[in-house]
């Protein structure tokens, strides 16, 4: 599914709508280290409410690998 057609648009931390093609920043944690990484959104799918509160699955292409982002409230849209 390349184009999102759900009735509820996913929002980032600041309340902006996340769309296919947007560049988003998200937190990454490995061990005790934590940093921000970025990726370009390639697809958005609506899903049933996950036990952690995820309502959308966002597929994105990062610098080195493809990532799946579940928690849209932790994302920040860098460009629109």
What torsion, rounded to 10 degrees, do the Cα atoms 5, 71, 75, 31 define? -150
Supply the Cα-derived Rg of the chain in whole angstroms.
12
CATH T-level fold of 1-80: SH3 type barrels. (2.30.30)
- pTM more than 0.85: no
- pLDDT by residue (tens digit) across 19-42? 999 999 989 889 999 999 889 998
**28, 6 Cβ separation under 8 angstroms:** no
58 sits in which H/E element? strand 56-62
pLDDT at 22: 92
Structure tokens at 38: 């970025």
Domain edges within the chain: 1-80
Structure tokens at 44: 């958005």
């Amino acid at each position: 599914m390349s184009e999102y057609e759900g009735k509820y648009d996913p929002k980032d931390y600041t309340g902006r709508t996340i769309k296919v093609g947007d560049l988003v920043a998200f937190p990454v944690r490995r061990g005790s280290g934590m940093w921000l990484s970025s990726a370009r959104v390639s697809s958005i799918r609506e899903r049933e409410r996950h036990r952690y509160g995820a309502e959308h699955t966002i597929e994105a292409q990062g610098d080195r690998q493809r990532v799946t982002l579940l928690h849209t409230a932790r994302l920040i849209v860098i460009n629109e």
